Structure 1
Amino acid sequence: MNTVASPERRRRSGNRPPAGVQPAETRFRADIEGLRAVAVLAVVLFHAGVPGIDGGFVGVDIFFVVSGFLITGLLWRNVATTGHVGLAEFYGARARRLLPAGCIVLVATAIGSALLLPPLQARAVLGDGIASALYVGNYRFALHGTDYLAADAPPSPFQHYWSLGVEEQFYLLWPALIIGVAWLVRRRSRRLDADETPSTTPYLIVLAVVAAVSFAVSLDWTRTLPPWAFFSLPARGWELAAGGLVALSVRHWQRLPSVVAAAAGWTGFALIVVACFRLGETTPYPGTAALVPVVGTVLVIGAGCSAPRLGVGRSLSLRPMRAVGRVSYSWYLWHWPVLLLAPIVLGRSLDLTDRLAMVMVSAGLAGLTLVLVENPVRFAAPLRRSASRSLVLGGAVTVIAVCAALVLLVARPVPVGHGAAAAALTVSAPAGSAPPAVDPRDAAVNDMTAQVQAAVAESAGLQSVPSNLSPPLADAPPDKPEVFVNGCVRSWLEVGQDECASGAVASPTTVALVGDSHAAMWAPAFESAAEQKQWRLETMGKVTCPLLDLPLTSPYLGREYTECEQWRGEIVDRLRTERPRLVVLSMSRRYGADFGFTVYGQAWLDSLTRLVTELRATGAAVLVLGPIPDPQSTVPTCLSAHLDEATACSPPRPVAVNDAGVAAEATATAVGGGRYADLTSLFCTTERCPVIVGNDLVYRDDNHLTLEHAQALSPVVAALADRALAPG
């Protein structure tokens, strides 16, 4: 995030343009300093959860436009006065301005995270810190956001560094583009006289093309790759380019009549306010919605070039606004880690008053950073006189930040259980025959369920995490069944379903496992059962897409989930055509109101009955798997902080299981002619739902089973499917 040109910089004598050259903007812009105050206030109040400021995240867009304006103006003045860009001086100035404060906050955040966060989470956060120190954290966050199974992970204390990554990448690419255009201009035109005015037109054309391409990418990725649209330079570059276009067209803005300029400035400010109050976290962003704050900022900056007497710039230039603007960079850096780490320090969640207090704490830290770090380094005469010293300083503080995070990684080793080794969970088929009055399939299910129940009861009081935990805590997050990576589970934007067969693929008995990721997590269990029972298993899944015919909004996409609706229709048609012997339905019960319906509500239950009836009409038996308990935490992370108190991560049964909802689903399934499997007894005692059973880690995250535990339950799953396949 750049700063406005300082009075000291304006007094430097070597950069006076030749006669006739119209500089991009040379005077100190107090209104831009005030505009930075608007941007940072929007961001920090949004993150503090102040009611009404649902679109405060647009403050980052304001920063981008401001940076584009200031940096492009600086580069153009270099080209106009000297014919080239002084790269060493340019990057030295950026290093003095951004890196010392950024690295100090980064190191402090890394230390706080290492001390306060659970070890497993701390290690992931320190990885974010290293990426942020190298200014590529935005791409790490984009990759993380694209991983469905990581979508519910808590935010990183370094996540706000993504915007600094975008700007630093812009600083690397834009000077090279300016140099390239300047070279082409020299090649294609005659030598300019000393007093002849260089034209901004070639630069305007190139920057306009860059903006148009980036905006097109933003529109496409907002629809198809939302994390990449939000975090990456290709989708955000047009916002910086918009500021650059203003810088290259200053002379046109300066010619605006005072009344027109004032109206334009106030209109722009109104657009910024509208964006802060009318946009929200469900708005597909950036996309077309980002035009509102970007155009608003362009109008405010452009109108300020004319400096109308009654313009918005007069208000933005007031002392309080400028004071906030001066600390905006450090305040932006400090506020997010303070808000995230404060609940851990205080031992409780923060209410609005607490969050506002933390905002003020971060403002105090920002003031200290400005006085003790930013200004002394930025204006140090030995550094300002030497670009090489400035660059060495930037490199040194970056190395220190990276090394600090690496040292902390070593200091927070991979958490490993050190309790006594536990016996593996083994489930075996009943040894004897069932009594004549009992259906042998019922007897098999009851017998194997009892075996699991005994293991669950034995593990319910477990305190120390077993040394032979399977999978180990650090290996749990990537512990995905193959169906999540081979295309059997369709991602958000994918439709259709390729053949995904396993088991005895030539068998005439086909079992279809269908649903969202909670169906796919059972794939290892059904694959083992299919091999044993000689079934052909077809897995058909799509993330956050239950097969129930409910209107569905995707919080990930920020819109109606049309891909889910299309996929549902394709899968139901395929099941009608292929007519499997058994259809196994499973789905998450963690859908909230933001998806457009309520789990266990009447619409949910009626849809379940309709679906079961429809599938039964194909001649298939239908087995609906009940929910697994909700562990109420990211289990590997929780256990990493409670290696000797595993019960702290095992929720009480009434919290983890909605028994009334399960009973209602069982009734709805029976009405449709299907069978329902209440799985609660496989996971819980009457009081608690342990997250370790035997030596199995039950959950890989906050709602999916580990591959190992699903496989351990395969005999029970096979018995449930056998019973559902039985005639009558």
Structure 2
Amino acid sequence: MLPRQGPESSIARGNQDGASSPPKRAFRPEVEGLRFLAVFLVVIYHVWLGRVSGGVDIFLLISAFLMTGQFVRRIERDEPIRLGKHWLHLLKRLLPVAVLVIAVTVLLSWWLLPGNRWPSIISDAWASLFYFENWAAAFNSVDYYAAHNVASPFQHFWSLSMQAQVFLLWPIIFAALALLRRKLGWNLKTMMWIVFGGIFVASLAFSIIFTQSNQSFAYFDLRTRLWEFALGSLLALALPHLKMSRAVRVLIGWLGLLLIISCGLVLQVDQQFPGYLALWPTLAAAMVIAAGSSASKFGADRILSAPFMRFMGGNSYALYLWHWPILVIFLSWQNRDSVDWLTGAAIILLAALLAILSTKFVERPVRRFVWVEAAWHRPILLVSACVFLAIVPLLGWQGAMKAQVIEASKNSSADNPGAAALVPGFEPGGNPEAPTQPAASKISEQFAVLDSSCAGKWLSEVKEINAVCRSHSVTDSPAKSIVVIGDSHSEQWMPALQYAADQNNWQMISIIKAACPYSTSQPTASDDCNAFNAEATDYLLQRSPDAVLMVGTAAKPSSPEEVLQPGFTEATTELIANGISVVAMRDNPRFAFNMAECVISKGSQADDCNPQRGDLLAELSPFESLEAKPPGLITLDMSDYICAQNSCPGVIGNIFVYIDDNHLTKDYSASMGPVFAQRLLKASGWASS
């Protein structure tokens, strides 16, 4: 996480009373204590508060501060910069404990976490091992503020990955500047001020703008954090020139320390970090470092330099590594959203103990292993061995997951009838011991999507529509065209509709936007959603499909409360008035827990995974409240094929019904196809082809 400070030179003191610059010291005990404070704030906020503390931003700054000081001293001593040797030496320090944590986390996740989470955790483990977890999280649109019990146990590697990328980039910059200094005689520090000042300004401006438009991506984007590293480098360059009296150093040190501690409590940073708000913790940390050693018994550095703070500062890297997987795995294993004070304290103590032990018995022995330094190739062997130790359990886990999928694929259709098991008179004929479909590790892939991009008249001049437009047709001359529109709750009906479409020569088009039910403009919807729906309405009116399929009601989690979608009447009236029929689906029951994980963890027969129908489903559909159904409005209620007579199971006919707490699996939706087609034809009066 952070390169260790060099052991050389004693701790010099500044002038007792007069103004002075901070003494030149290769080892700064107050910075060691500040490292621990930053990590400890991260741990506390993760365990108990579920908020951003600013601690990560502080240790990003510290890492660049220390690295810049090290390289400046090397260059000024005219030492050659051997980048390969430097990077291998750095990996020798950082990898051993990281690999230990990755391997242990892989084994615990394999043992304790439900199979539906395995693919994403394995993917994150690979990303963490090779230091690109920040980009993996960004492109997967990870919500950093989401509940910890559904977070990845490797998510915290995003900051370590970001640091590793800077540890790759910054030395290249230093080497280039050293070359210019040697060849052209340019002033080293002037060049550094220009380069890192430019990075600071450009990255901070980008961070402010991009955070406002796409915060979930910006949070993990290296480009939005480069300014924090640049600030650390600028601080290292400025420090020798800062003149402060003892009193000013005491004041600045305490002010910085108080700002660091108060950052997470005062700032409401959800959906706003990093941006300009990250200036608070980074500038506060810069103040503490600039204050340096105050030579006063009242200075904040006296606390930060205390033996305990220095000791834990030496263990802070391992503490950061251990705390998050312990917390996440415990919450998921116990099916909890948070921990109480006592349990949280136990988690922190366990993480601290593991940090101390792994630093003492893994990191330091490897770092001091003289054999490794005896030949150029030996650090490569050590790094390769570390990576291998993490790869072995990962490959074993992937093999076990693949075996599950292969075993489930051997089932016959009779083994997994799905919704057909609820058809009156159904007689089971399959193997009662057959694995449930889909395999647990494949559940996350159960969102439906049509097989082709839109073409011809279904192409749109609006890029937002074109980006999500998909189509399916069995012939070039379909008898009807039906557009599935709305959010994922419309999307989940596509496999059932596809059965009807294939049987009757219909073309399907889908226009799906996540978390955006189709409607007229609504004050409760986001501006983005309202704008998309307006474009979608124009698209429908211009292309005039035979029908539109949408979800017309909205259920509440673990409650029989259900209402018509806001704007339902207005939206459907406009379409029908323009000759477009509307197939309105009743929403499926939703839960306050992940139904798929319930089944995987407790079994399909567990009471928790078979909640009472009356607790989830209103006796009457909200469609019944419509005063009159206009011609062209077709309402469908498939609740009797999602819920049994008295319960709403997580598994029906040996098929998982739900992906999570509210979405139907595409396999189960497809199993409803025959009944769905029959009911649609009957309700619409459309002729069967």
Alpha carbons 1:624, 1:675 under 8 Å: kept: yes
Distance 1:297 1:506, change over 3 A: farther
Q: 1:145 aligns with which of 120, 141, 144?
A: 141
Q: Does 1:117 find its partner at 2:127?
A: no
Q: Does 1:478 find its partner at 2:445?
A: yes
Q: Distance in 2 between matches of 1:64 and 1:591?
A: 42
What is the identity, as a one-letter code, of the residue corresponding to 1:477? S
| Higher mean displacement: 208-217 or 352-361 | 208-217
Gaps of 5+ in 2: 12-20
Q: How far is 1:240 from its partner?
A: 1.7
Aligned equivalent of 1:31: 30
Q: Distance in 2 between matches of 1:67 and 1:478?
A: 39
What is the identity, as a one-letter code, of the residue corresponding to 1:180? A
Aligned equivalent of 1:331: 319
Equivalences for residues 393-432 of structure 1 within 5 A: 393-410=382-399, 414-416=403-405, 421=412, 423=414
Q: Distance in 2 between matches of 1:411 and 1:501?
A: 35
Distance 1:166 1:157, change over 3 A: same
Q: 1:572 aligns with which of 519, 523, 537?
A: 537
Q: Does 1:255 find its partner at 2:255?
A: no
| Higher mean displacement: 632-641 or 352-361 | 632-641
Q: Does 1:466 find its partner at 2:466?
A: no
What is the identity, as a one-letter code, of the residue corresponding to 2:528? E
What is the identity, as a one-letter code, of the residue corresponding to 1:566? A
What is the identity, as a one-letter code, of the residue corresponding to 1:177? I
Alpha carbons 2:41, 2:55 under 8 Å: kept: yes
Q: 1:212 aligns with which of 201, 225, 238?
A: 201
**1:546-590: CA deviations, max 9, x gaps?**
12444457xxxxxxx321121122223444555555332227957
Aligned equivalent of 1:157: 153
Alpha carbons 2:58, 2:282 under 8 Å: kept: yes
Q: How far is 1:397 from its partner?
A: 2.0
Alpha carbons 2:200, 2:231 under 8 Å: kept: yes
Distance 1:424 1:330, change over 3 A: closer
Q: Distance in 1 between matches of 2:552 and 2:142?
A: 21
Q: Does 1:285 find its partner at 2:234?
A: no
Q: Does 1:453 find its partner at 2:444?
A: no
What is the identity, as a one-letter code, of the residue corresponding to 1:563? D
Q: Distance in 1 between matches of 2:258 and 2:667?
A: 56
Q: 2:642 aligns with which of 673, 680, 683?
A: 683
| Higher mean displacement: 493-502 or 119-128 | 493-502
Q: Does 1:712 find its partner at 2:671?
A: yes
Distance 1:317 1:542, change over 3 A: same
Q: How far is 1:349 from its partner?
A: 6.9
Q: How far is 1:268 from its partner?
A: 3.4
Q: Distance in 2 between matches of 1:166 and 1:671?
A: 59
Equivalences for residues 652-663 of structure 1 within 5 A: 652-654=610-612, 658-660=616-618, 663=620
Q: Distance in 2 between matches of 1:721 and 1:151?
A: 39
What is the identity, as a one-letter code, of the residue corresponding to 1:313? D
In angstroms, what is the RMSD of aligned CA positions?
4.3
What is the identity, as a one-letter code, of the residue corresponding to 2:512? G
Aligned equivalent of 1:107: 103
Q: How far is 1:41 from its partner?
A: 1.8
Q: Distance in 1 between matches of 2:156 and 2:607?
A: 29
Aligned equivalent of 1:529: 500
Alpha carbons 1:638, 1:649 under 8 Å: kept: no
**1:212-254: CA deviations, max 9, x gaps?**
34334434543555454223433332222221111122223x3
What is the identity, as a one-letter code, of the residue corresponding to 2:582? V
Aligned equivalent of 1:80: 76
Q: Distance in 2 between matches of 1:322 and 1:162?
A: 25
Equivalences for residues 348-363 of structure 1 within 5 A: 351-352=339-340, 353-363=342-352
Q: Does 1:583 find its partner at 2:548?
A: yes
TM-score by length of 2: 0.82
Distance 1:152 1:696, change over 3 A: farther
Alpha carbons 2:599, 2:609 under 8 Å: kept: no
Q: Does 1:54 find its partner at 2:51?
A: yes
Distance 1:37 1:570, change over 3 A: same
Distance 1:413 1:481, change over 3 A: closer
Alpha carbons 1:511, 1:583 under 8 Å: kept: yes
Aligned equivalent of 1:188: 184
Give the secondary-structure state (helix, strand or coil) at the position aligned to 1:584.
Answer: strand
**1:102-159: CA deviations, max 9, x gaps?**
2222222222222222345346434432332222333333333369xx9999322222
Aligned equivalent of 2:589: 629
Aligned equivalent of 2:228: 239
What is the identity, as a one-letter code, of the residue corresponding to 2:644? T
Q: Distance in 2 between matches of 1:601 and 1:572?
A: 25
Give the secondary-structure state (helix, strand or coil) at the position aligned to 2:77.
Answer: helix
Q: Distance in 2 between matches of 1:462 and 1:628?
A: 27
Give the secondary-structure state (helix, strand or coil) at the position aligned to 1:495.
Answer: helix
Aligned equivalent of 1:539: 510
Alpha carbons 2:65, 2:233 under 8 Å: kept: yes
Q: How many residues align?
A: 663
Q: How far is 1:723 from its partner?
A: 4.6
Give the secondary-structure state (helix, strand or coil) at the position aligned to 2:549.
Answer: strand
Distance 1:335 1:649, change over 3 A: farther
Distance 1:420 1:227, change over 3 A: same
Q: Distance in 2 between matches of 1:599 and 1:261?
A: 63
Alpha carbons 1:331, 1:366 under 8 Å: kept: yes
What is the identity, as a one-letter code, of the residue corresponding to 1:622? V
Q: Distance in 2 between matches of 1:487 and 1:591?
A: 34
Distance 1:420 1:250, change over 3 A: closer
Give the secondary-structure state (helix, strand or coil) at the position aligned to 2:533.
Answer: helix
Q: How far is 1:165 from its partner?
A: 1.5
Q: Distance in 2 between matches of 1:649 and 1:162?
A: 39
Q: Distance in 1 between matches of 2:373 and 2:483?
A: 69
Aligned equivalent of 1:665: 622
Q: Distance in 2 between matches of 1:240 and 1:92?
A: 21
What is the identity, as a one-letter code, of the residue corresponding to 1:582? A
Gaps of 5+ in 1: 13-21, 191-197, 428-448, 554-560, 593-597
Give the secondary-structure state (helix, strand or coil) at the position aligned to 1:85.
Answer: coil
Distance 1:455 1:245, change over 3 A: farther
Distance 1:551 1:325, change over 3 A: farther
Give the secondary-structure state (helix, strand or coil) at the position aligned to 2:445.
Answer: coil
Give the secondary-structure state (helix, strand or coil) at the position aligned to 1:249.
Answer: helix
Alpha carbons 1:96, 1:394 under 8 Å: kept: yes
Q: Distance in 2 between matches of 1:382 and 1:235?
A: 40
**1:181-215: CA deviations, max 9, x gaps?**
2222333337xxxxxxx530102211222333433
Alpha carbons 1:473, 1:640 under 8 Å: kept: yes
What is the identity, as a one-letter code, of the residue corresponding to 2:179? W
Aligned equivalent of 1:19: none
Q: Distance in 1 between matches of 2:489 and 2:264?
A: 37
Alpha carbons 2:3, 2:67 under 8 Å: kept: no
Aligned equivalent of 1:519: 490
What is the identity, as a one-letter code, of the residue corresponding to 1:515? G
Distance 1:563 1:343, change over 3 A: closer
Distance 1:338 1:426, change over 3 A: closer
Q: How far is 1:171 from its partner?
A: 1.2
Q: Percent identity?
A: 28
Q: Distance in 1 between matches of 2:259 and 2:430?
A: 57
Q: Distance in 1 between matches of 2:259 and 2:424?
A: 61
